[in-house]
Amino acid sequence: MKVYLDCFPCFMRQALEAARMATNDPALQREVLDRVAELLPTVPLDSTPIDIGQLVHRLAREVTGVTDPYKEVKKESNDLGLKLYTSLKSQVQSSEDPFLAALKIAGAGNIIDFGPKLTLDYNRSIEQIVNDSFTQALQDPLDQAQYRAFKEKLAEVRKILYLGDNTEEIVCDKILIEKLVQRGKKVTFVIRGEPTINDASSSGGEFRA
């Protein structure tokens, strides 16, 4: 996926968001925006959003001196995932096809993403919104042909490399990984080595699944 012009305002928004999470100093926040504003005109249009995002957040860390601006947000979302774990696992176990339900839960884990931000309904808490979204995900059908093809391919392998994403999602991934292990698979779970936005990282030792 290549970068589009519509991405550039989003990079500025991300820069300001990271700066505000890292510091309350308006001067430093302004410096982050100024540095990113200098960076963006130099970005080739054949770049990818993830490449530019890394540069933007690296600048935010350099200017503020805070290595993990999203640390508190990640802890909040990870705590929410852990709070939901028992309920989600129970729903998976009681479903007609627990493995299919675990796949849906792992996919729906993206909704607990404070990077793009949840669209808040002020009449409901974040926990209620997330709970309702998981319930909907379990009810939504999955293409049966694709599901059969996936299970057939899965039956051919013993080792699986599982790439983790956001801190909050790893609790949902855990439910699917447990099912994979029950099927005799050896799963290696990989996350980032250093903090990047709200991604799970090995340096974030306080985050767990």
* Residue length of the chain: 209
Same domain, 29 and 89: no
Q: Are 127 and 83 contacting, i.e. CB atoms less than 8 angstroms apart?
A: yes
Q: What is the pLDDT of residues 140-172, one digit of tens each?
A: 888 899 999 999 999 999 999 998 887 767 888
Residues 145 and 182 in one domain: yes
Given this model, what pLDDT does residue 115 score? 46
How many domains, the chain? 2
Q: Is 110 helix (H, G, I), strand (E, B) or coil?
A: helix
In a domain, 203, yes or no: no
The more confidently predicted of residues 10 and 114 is 10
Q: Which residues contact 141 (CB under 8 A, 6 or more apart)?
A: none
Same domain, residue pair 76 and 179 = yes
What is the reported pTM?
Answer: 0.71
Verify that 75 and 159 share a domain, yes or no.
Answer: yes
Pairwise CA distance, residues 1 & 37, whole Å: 22
What confidence score (pLDDT) does residue 70 get? 83
- Domain for residue 209, yes or no? no
What residues contact residue 77 under an 8 Å CB cut-off, 6+ apart? 112, 113, 114, 166, 167, 168, 198
Q: Are residues 84 and 147 in the same domain?
A: yes
Residue 16 lies in a domain: yes
- Domain end: 64, 83, 104, which one? 64
- Per-residue confidence (pLDDT) for residue 189, from 0 to 100: 92
pLDDT in tens, 58-112: 999 999 999 888 888 777 777 877 888 888 899 899 999 999 999 998 888 776 5
Question: In terms of domains, do 94 and 125 share one?
Answer: yes
Domain range for 89: 71-190
What does the pLDDT read at residue 140?
82
Q: pLDDT exceeding 70 applies to what percent of the chain?
A: 83
Q: Are residues 130 and 155 in the same domain?
A: yes
